[in-house]
Amino acid sequence: MTGGGSMMKIAVGADHAGFALKQEVAEALRQAGHDVVDVGTHSTDPVDYPDSAEAVGLAVVDGRAERGVLVCGSGVGASVAANKLPGIRAAVCHDTYSAHQGVEHDDMNVLVLGGRVVGPAMALELVRAFVAARFTGEERHARRLAKVKALEKRYR
């Protein structure tokens, strides 16, 4: 995996269903020169995906990481859970267009993958696209992001 731009600090986390893929993603990110914050899980022993989502989300919100990569079985549960944390914009992306466009247009800060849905080669392509992407800051995207943030505050 090539860096695709500046190196960054990236939190990685998974439940038991995403453990194996998380390990591969973390190693590829390290080899590309990124600083990886592994928030667990550290085995295939069953754990609950909301705990993994919280760990990755908090690392991003607290500033211990700039972005996060989260893996569960389908990616859906972890995505739903991560988005409950104020400041987290997480999405399941199993295509490279969404993985970079989510950052460029929506300032997505957590990429969620389904460890039982995508294989390692595709996962690494998705992570590469996510990490290389930057929020454009274009007026229409900034305006829409402000509305998302307003929704978050309104319904806390």
**CA–CA–CA angle 54, 11, 16 (5° rounding):** 60
User: Is 72 annotated in the active site?
Assistant: yes
16, 34, 72, 100: the catalytic one is 72
3-state secondary structure of 101: helix
Q: H or E element: which one contains 127?
A: helix 120-132
**Amino acid of residue 23:** Q
Give the orientation angle of helix 139-154 with respect to helix 96-106, to 10 degrees. 80
Residue 149 CB-density burial (10 A; 0-12 exposed, 13-18 middle, 19+ buried)? middle
User: Is 94 annotated in the active site?
Assistant: no
Residues with catalytic roles: 72, 105
